Structure formats: structure tokens, C-alpha cells
Amino acid sequence: MPVKNWMTTDVVSVGPDTSLLKVGKLMKDHHIRRIPVVDEQGQVIGIISDRDVRDASPSKATTLDMYEMHYLLAELKAKNIMTAKPITVKPTDTVEQAALIMLDNKVGGLPVVDDAGKLVGIISDHDVFKAMVDITGARLGGLQFAVELPDQPGTARPLFDLLRTHNARIPSVLTVSNPDGNRHMFVRVRDLENAQSEQELIAGVNKLGKVLYCQH
């Protein structure tokens, strides 16, 4: 699934000379946790998170008076607190690739840029969650089960033959290979006739491999 299908395209961004005061207000007004910083050509040169804003802001224990605090917040610029040269992704990259980058680098969002480096969107961990819900068919309901099968070619075919005999619709199938030579298949099915049909299906699945769980 490409990033372009899940990214936010109406992106709030700022320039390098935008004040910290305005950056914080934009985050609050738009209910966002990160803002890309772009140059005059629209190319991404940095990113600011809500943590960056908090770390740069005076603490509640500060001895500064209100006017001094306002002056400090107005004088600090985006370029002073941003993370320069942030990791970015392309619209054609996959959501899985974006999720892996976020996980490995412990960030909650990535600017999306075109081939010229210009900002065209942003994808967040929330967008990834929405994509995963869609991929797994979680909103569609039905019956989901997990079965352990040998990680060998052709071992899934009897399972799909069994599903076909029960006229089951299959909104999603996910697999994970394990070091022990097996793989776990997570299957969501719908439109089984009744509870008895479900029981017969799971009994059949259990003959093909080890059923790890079964739930609605």
C-alpha cells in the first residue's frame, strides 16, 4: 500500500524564521504533534515535534516575568529548535516501509517529499494504524483465526481449499515466518452460514495445523 494513499496532504508547515510562539500556536490550533520546516522553494529542511517545542519553552519554575517569556518565545525561531535534514519518504514508498523507518528511528511521523525534495504530505503513526486496520479488515468483523503451518511451499493450499468448501469470504490474510521452521497465518473470514459452520471450519483447520486462537 503506497504512502500516497494514507498520507495527509493538507500539511501545516513553517519557514525557518517562524517564531517558536507561532509554531506552538499552530500545533495547538491544528491539533498536530509535528510541523515540517520548508525553505522558500518548498523543500523540507527540518521538522519540529511538540517535544521540541516543550524543551525549548521556559519551564513553569522559570524566574522570567511574562514579558521576558514572550520576548524569548518570539525570538526563538524554527531553525533554532528543528531537527535538520529529517528522514523523509516518497509517495510511492509503502506504508510498511514508512512504519519500519518510524520504528527503527523512534519517530512518530515522516515528511513525504517528491523527487525534488518538495513537501507533498506527511504520514504519521496514526496514519499507519489506520492503514493496518484496513489491511487486516478489522472493521469488517467476521471470524479471525490463527493457525501454525510448516513454512514450506504449498502448505497453505489445503487451508484455502477448506475455506472454499465453506463458501467463506476472505477479507484478509497475513503471515509471519518463525525461526522454528513454521509460519503463523492470520485469516479473517466472513459470511459463514451459522455457528455450526464456524465450528466445522475450525475443526477442519485444526486438522491442517495448530490453531493458535479463534475469535470474533
User: Quick one: pLDDT at residue 61?
Assistant: 42
Domains of the chain listed by start with CATH number: 3-133 (3.10.580.10), 137-215 (3.30.70.260)
C-alpha grid cell, residue 56: 525549548
| Reduced 3-state DSSP string for the chain | CEHHHCCECCCCCECCCCEHHHHHHHHHHHCCCEEEEECCCCEEEEEEEHHHHHHHCCCCCCCCCHHHHHHHHHHCEHHHHCEECCCCECCCCEHHHHHHHHHHHCCCEEEEECCCCEEEEEEEHHHHHHHHHHHHCHHHCCEEEEEEEECCCCCCHHHHHHHHHCCCEEEEEEEEECCCCEEEEEEEEECCCCHHHHHHHHHHHHHHCEEEEEEC
User: Quick one: pLDDT at residue 69?
Assistant: 58
User: Quick one: pLDDT at residue 71?
Assistant: 60
Residues of the chain with pLDDT under 50: 60-61
* Model confidence pLDDT, tens digit, residues 5-17: 999 999 999 999 9
User: Quick one: pLDDT at residue 136?
Assistant: 84
Please count the residues of the chain.
Answer: 216
User: Quick one: pLDDT at residue 18?
Assistant: 95
User: Quick one: pLDDT at residue 67?
Assistant: 57
